[in-house]
Amino acid sequence: MSENDPNRTDDPNNRLGRISKNAAFLMMMALMLLFAIQVVGRQENPVAELTYTEFTNHLSSDRVSEVTFRDRAVEGEFRQPVRRDDREFVRFQTMLPGELTDGLLQEMQSRGVVVDAEPPQRGVGTFLLTALPWLLFIAFWIWIFRTMQGGGNRAFQFGRSKAKMISPDTPKVTFADVAGADEAKEELQEIIEFLKDPAKFSRLGGRLPKGVLLVGPPGTGKTLLARAVAGEAGRPFFQMSGSDFVEMFVGVGASRVRDLFEQGKAHAPCIIFVDEIDAVGRHRGAGLGGGHDEREQTLNALLVEMDGFESNEGVILLAATNRPDVLDPALLRPGRFDRQVVVDAPDVKGREGILRVHAKKLPLADDVELSLIARGTPGMSGADLANICNEAALLAARRDGNKVTMADFEQAKDKVMLGTERKSLVLNEYERKLTAYHEAGHAVLGLKVPGLDPVHKVTIVPRGRALGITASLPEEDRHSYTKEWMEGQLAMLFGGRVAEEMIFGPRDITTGAGNDIERATSMARRMVMSFGMSEVIGLVAVADNEQEVFLGREIVQRRSVSEHTQRIVDEEVKRILDEAHERAHAVLDENKDLLESIAQALLERETLNRDDVEALARGEPLAPLPDLKDDEAPKLPQQPAPQPGKAPRGFGLAGGEGPLPDPAPGVVDGPDLDELI
C-alpha cells in the first residue's frame, strides 16, 4: 500500500479525516432527530381552526379555559376536549374581526378565562434569518464530510507538495524525439542507467548523482529532455515547477519541499524534476529584507533535503533554468547538483535533426531540403525551428495546398527571422525611395567589405517595426568574431546613413539610421572595454562591474574606472565609429553604380534575394517580372513628395531594437516604426 493511499490506517491525516466524518455524521443525525421530535409533537397536539362566531359560542358556554392574544390572532385551550369532525381538540385558534374590545375582554374575565398576550409571530423571512446560522453550520459540516470523502483529505493538504507523478499511461517522450543535444542526452542516459542497474557503477565505488542541473537559453529543449528522461527511465518521476513551492503563507514552501522529498524516498529510486528552479533558488540575502522571507526558507529546506544530515539515497533531483547566474552557490556545489548539463543552441547538424523530428508530422513536397533550411537558420533554438515548421504548415494550409513546399519553408523562415510583412502599410514615393537607398547602402557594404557574411535578402516591404531590412546569414556556424569582422560590421551598419547623405544631401538625412547607430555604438564600446581591441586602452577590461541589486551582493556600486580612463574610452569609441563611417563613405563612392542599380531594383521588385543581389554585383540584368493584371498591380497613393530639405511626415522613426546580442545576428534593420520623432 503506497504512502499516498487514502485508506492507509497509519496516516494521521486519515485518522483525523475519519474522526471528522464521524462527527459530521452524528451532528446531522442529531439535527434530524430534533426536527422529527418537533414534527411529532405538533401531530400529538392538534389545533382546531375556529371561526370568530364559534369562538364566542364556546366562550358563552364556558368551554374556554385560557386564551393568548398575538395581535389579532387568538390561541387558547378548552376546559374539556371538544369533539369536532370525529376528532377531539384541546387547543384552538381563531382570528379577531377587528381590534380587541373592552366588552370581549370583560366577558372573558367574568367567566374566569385566563387571558395572556404575546408579540405577534414572526414571518418566514424572520424565521429564515434566525435559522441561517444553523443552516450555515450544517452546510459547513456537509462540506467537510464531502471533502474528507473525496480528494484524499484536501482540507488538510495545504502544506503538501503539488508534485505530479507521471503515470505509465501518459504518452511517453523518448530520446528519439530529441535532437540537437547529443552531449546532454549522453549525460542523462548515464543517469537512467544508474537507476536501472546501480550495481554496475557501485561495484567500482561510484555513487548515484544527487542532482543534475540543465542550463541553457530559452527554447533549447531543457524541459523536453526532462520529459524524455521520464519516458526512458521506467522509474517513478515527479514533476513540479519552482513557483509551486511558494505561497502567500509563511512556511508553506519549506513544508512542500519536505513533503516532496518524503514522497521521493517512499518511491526510491526515483527522479524529481523541478522546472524553473531559479524561482526558489536565487541567491540568499536578496534585497533589504533580511534572511527570513518565505523564498529563503524554501531554499534552506531544499538545501537540507538535497544534502543535509540525513541522506536521501535513490532520489535524483533534475532541475532546469536559463538563469544559472542568479542561483545560490550552496545550491550549485557538488553533493547537491553534481552535474551541470549545458543545453546550448544547436549547430547545423543538430538543427537538421530537429527539423527532421518536427517534419515527421508534415506531408513534405519533393523539393523540400531540410539541410538547406538548417544552414540558413544559424543561432536558432529548437523552439524557433519548431515554430518554422508550424508556420510552414499553416502557410500551406492557407493556400489550400496538399503538401508543404520549400517555398512555404522559406516564407516561414523569413517570417520568424525578420517579422511579418506589413502589406497594409503603404508608403508614398519619397518614403519608398529613401528606404530603397538606405537598404541598398547596407547591401553594397555587405557585398564589398571583405570578411562579412553573404547578403541573404534585401527588402523595402515593412516587416515588424522596420520599414526595410537587409539580412546577412553566415555560410557556417560562427562561435567567435574577429576584429576585422566587427570593423566590417560597423561599416555595414553605417551604410544606410551614408547612402542617405550621398543621395539626398547632409541636410536631408533622417532618423531612420537611429537603430544602426545605437547598435554600432554598443559594438564599438564592447570592442574597447571588454574585447581588448583598442591599442590605446590595451588588454584591460574597463567595463563597469555591474551587479544586480536583487542578488544581494552589493547595493552601492563602486566605480572601477577613473574619469581620465573613461574619457579615453569615449574618445576611442568615437574614433572607431568615425573610421567605420569614413570606410562606408569610401566604399559607396567607389560603387555608386551598384548602389543605384540595387536601389532601382528594390523600387521595382521591393524584395531581392541573394541571387538577385549577386547578379547585380556582377553587372548582370535581372530576369523580367511576370506581367500583372490591372487588379494585381500595386497601387501607390498619390501623395505629393516633400519639399527638398524636409523629412517626410511619418518617416524618420528611430530604431528601438536595442544593441545586438553577443554574438550578433547579421540582420540590419532599416527605418524603425517603434517611436515617433
Query: Smallest Cα–Cα separation from 11: which of 23, 20, 3, 19?
Result: 3
Query: Smallest Cα–Cα separation from 468: which of 456, 477, 459?
Result: 459
Contact 328, 299 (CB under 8 A): yes
Distances (CA, A) of 597 to 440, 469, 584, 622: 9, 17, 18, 10
Q: 536559463: which residue's cell?
A: 322
Query: Smallest Cα–Cα separation from 388: which of 424, 422, 337, 352?
Result: 352
Q: For residue 327, give every residue at least 6 positions away whose Cβ sits within 8 Å of its Cβ, in sequence order, or none.
A: 277, 278, 281, 282, 283, 321
Cell numbers at 83, concatenated:
369533539
Element (H, E) at 308: none
Alpha-helix residue ranges (DSSP H) falling in 175-293: 182-196, 199-202, 222-233, 252-266
- CA dihedral 624→625→627→633, nearest 10 degrees, is -140
Rg of the chain over CA atoms, in angstroms?
42
Question: Helices 429-448 and 563-590 sit at what angle, rounded to 10 degrees?
Answer: 100
Of how many residues is the chain composed? 677
Element (H, E) at 529: helix 514-529
- CA dihedral 555→558→561→562, nearest 10 degrees, is 130
CA distance 292 to 114: 75
Q: DSSP for 605-667, please give it.
A: HSEEEHHHHHHHHTTPPPPPPPP--TTTS------PPPPTTSPPTT--PPP-S-SPPSSPPSE
Distances (CA, A) of 659 to 27, 588, 651: 70, 25, 22
Q: Does the active-site annotation cover 75?
A: no
Active-site residue, selected from the candidate residues 187, 276, 439, 487: 439
Phi, psi values for residue 165, rounded to 5°: -90, 130
Q: Letter for the amino acid at 155? A: A
Contact 470, 443 (CB under 8 A): yes
CA distance 657 to 465: 9
DSSP conformation class of 473: -
Question: Helices 563-590 and 514-529 sit at what angle, rounded to 10 degrees?
Answer: 130
Q: For residue 631, give every residue at least 6 positions away whose Cβ sits within 8 Å of its Cβ, in sequence order, or none.
A: none
Q: For residue 27, give every residue at least 6 positions away whose Cβ sits within 8 Å of its Cβ, in sequence order, or none.
A: 138, 141
CA distance 158 to 14: 15
How many helices, marked H, and strands, marked E, lie in the chain? 21, 15
SS3 327: strand
What residues are annotated to the active site?
439
